[in-house]
Structure 1
Amino acid sequence: MKKLACILLVAIALISCNKEEKKDYVTLSGKIINATSDSLVVAQRAIIKSIKVNQDGTFSDTLKVASGNYVLFDGQEQANIYLENGFDLKITIDTNAFDQSIHYEGVGEDVNNYLAKKVLLQERLLDYDDLMASDKSEFENKLGSSIAEFKALLNEVSKDNVAFIANEEKGFKMIEEHLKSAYSKNNEPSPFNGKVAPKFNDYENYAGGSTSLDDLKGKYVYIDLWATWCGPCKAEIPALKRVEKAYHGKNIAFVSISLDSPKAYDKWKAMVKEKELTGVQLYAKGDQKFARDFKVNTIPRFILIDPNGIVVNDNAPRPSSKQLTKIFDRLEI
Structure 2
Amino acid sequence: MKKIIVLLLLIGFISCQEKEIITTVSGTIKGTNAKEIELEGINFSKKIPLQSNGTFSDTLDLPYEGMYYLILTDEKSFYVYLEKGFQLQLETKADDFINSMSYTGIGKDENNYLIQKNKLIESKYGDQSNFENVMKIYSDEEQVFLKNIETLKKNMLEKLTSSSIKNERFIKNEKKEIEILALKYQEQYAPYHGYAINNKDFKTSDTFPKAGDDFDMNDEETFKHSYSYRTLIGGIFQRIMYSTPSEDKTPFDKGMEKLNTITSKIIRSELTKNMVYEMNLSAKNIDEIYKGLMKHSIDSVFNNETTLKYETLKKLVKGSPSPTFDYENINGGKTSLESLKGKFVYIDVWATWCGPCIGEIPALKEVEKEYHGKNIEFVSISIDDKKDHEKWKKMVAEKELKGIQLFADNDWKSDFVKKYAIDGIPRFILIDTEGKIVNADAPRPSDAKLKELLKEVGL
- Taking structure 2 as the reference length, the TM-score comes to 0.40
| Equivalent residues of 1:38, 1:54 under 8 A apart | yes
Unpaired runs of at least 5, structure 2: 1-16, 126-132, 203-328, 332-348, 362-378, 406-425, 429-442, 448-459
Cα distance in 1 for residues equivalent to 2:34 and 2:115: 21
Q: Equivalent residue for 1:44?
A: 41
Indicate how the Cα distance of structure 1 residues 79 and 135 shifts in structure 2: closer, same or farther if over 3 A, else same: closer
Q: 1:270 to 1:258 in 2, by over 3 A?
A: farther
How far apart are the structure 2 equivalents of 1:257 and 1:207?
21
Q: Distance in 2 between matches of 1:273 and 1:182?
A: 28
The separation in 1 between residues aligned to 2:32 and 2:165, in whole angstroms, is 35
Mapped partners of 1:173, 1:75: distance in 2: 29
Q: 1:178 to 1:71 in 2, by over 3 A?
A: closer
In structure 2, give the amino acid aligned to 1:25.
I
Cα 1:190–1:151 shift into 2, 3 Å? same
In structure 1, distance between residues paired with 2:199 and 2:73: 42
Q: Report what 1:84 is aligned to.
A: 83
**Equivalent AA in structure 2 for residue 176 of structure 1:** A
- 2:112 is matched with which residue? 113
Query: Any conservation in 2 of the 1:99–1:120 contact (CA below 8 Å)?
Result: no
Within a 5 Å distance, the mapping from 1:180-329 to structure 2 comes to 180-183=186-189, 186=193, 228=351, 233=353, 256-257=358-359, 265-268=380-383, 274-277=389-392, 278-279=394-395, 280=398, 286=428, 288=444
Change (3 A) 1:25 1:271: same
Counterparts of 1:134 and 1:116, CA distance in 2: 26
| 8 Å contact kept, 1:69–1:83 | yes
- Of all paired residues, the percent bearing the same amino acid is 22
Q: Secondary structure at the match of 2:381?
A: helix
Equivalences for 1:131-210 in 2 at 5 Å? 131-183=137-189, 186=193
Higher helix share: 2
Shift of 1:81: 0.6
Q: Given the alignment, which residue of 12, 18, 21 partners 1:24? A: 21
Q: Distance in 2 between matches of 1:105 and 1:272?
A: 36
What's the counterpart of residue 35 of structure 1?
32
| Pair 1:273–1:22, CA change in 2 (3 A) | closer
Q: Which has the larger displacement, 169-178 or 24-33?
A: 169-178
1:44/1:207 CA distance change after superposition, 3 Å: same
CA contact (8 A) 1:51 1:59 kept: yes
Secondary structure at 1:266's aligned position in 2?
Answer: strand
Three-state SS of the structure 2 residue aligned to 1:42 is: strand
Distance 2:390 2:43 in 1: 28
Aligned to 2:375: none
Cα distance in 2, alignment partners of residues 191 and 29 from structure 1: 46
Q: Which residue of 2 aligns with 1:4?
A: none
Residue 103 of structure 1 deviates from its aligned partner by 1.1
User: Partners in 1 of 2:384 and 2:59 — Cα distance?
Assistant: 44
Distance 1:101 1:159, change over 3 A: closer
Equivalent position of 1:124 in the other structure: 123
1:148 partner letter: K
Superposed displacement of residue 265, structure 1 = 4.4
Deviations 1:142-194 (A, max 9, x none): 1221111111222254553223222222222223223334446757995879x
The whole-number CA distance in structure 2 between the counterparts of 1:33 and 1:74 is 12
Q: Are the aligned partners of 1:88 and 1:107 in contact in 2 as well (CA < 8 Å)?
A: yes
After the TM superposition, which of the residue ranges 170-179 and 125-134 deviates more from structure 2? Answer: 125-134
Does the 8 Å CA contact 2:37/2:49 hold for their aligned counterparts? Answer: yes
Report how far residue 62 of structure 1 moved: 1.1
Cα gap change, 1:79 to 1:258, in 2 (>3 Å): farther
Take 2:102 and 2:95, find their aligned partners in 1: how far apart are those partners?
Answer: 14
Give the conservation status (yes or no) of the 8 Å contact 2:26–2:55. yes
Distance 1:269 1:93 in 2: 30
Alignment partners' CA distance in 2, 1:175 and 1:69: 14
Work out the CA distance in 1 between the residues paired with 2:184 and 2:138: 12
Distance 1:258 1:49, change over 3 A: farther
Corresponding residue for residue 297 of structure 1: none
C-alpha contact 1:42 1:49 (8 A) present in aligned 2 = yes
Root-mean-square deviation (CA, aligned residues, Å) is 4.2
Residue 67 of structure 1 corresponds to which residue in structure 2? 65
Bigger RCO (CA 8 Å, 6+ sep): 1
Equivalences, count: 220
CA distance in 1, matches of 2:84, 2:200: 54
The change in CA–CA distance for 1:95 and 1:173 in structure 2 (over 3 A counts) is: same
Deviation at 1:108, TM superposition (A): 0.2
Amino acid at match of 2:61: K
Task: Give me the whole-angstrom Cα distance separating, in 2, the residues matched to 1:141 and 1:52.
Answer: 45
Using structure 1 for the length normalisation, give the TM-score: 0.53
Q: Deviations over 1:227-254 (max 9, x none)?
A: 54x9xx48x9xxxxxxxxxxxxxxxxxx
Larger deviation: 264-273 or 134-143?
264-273
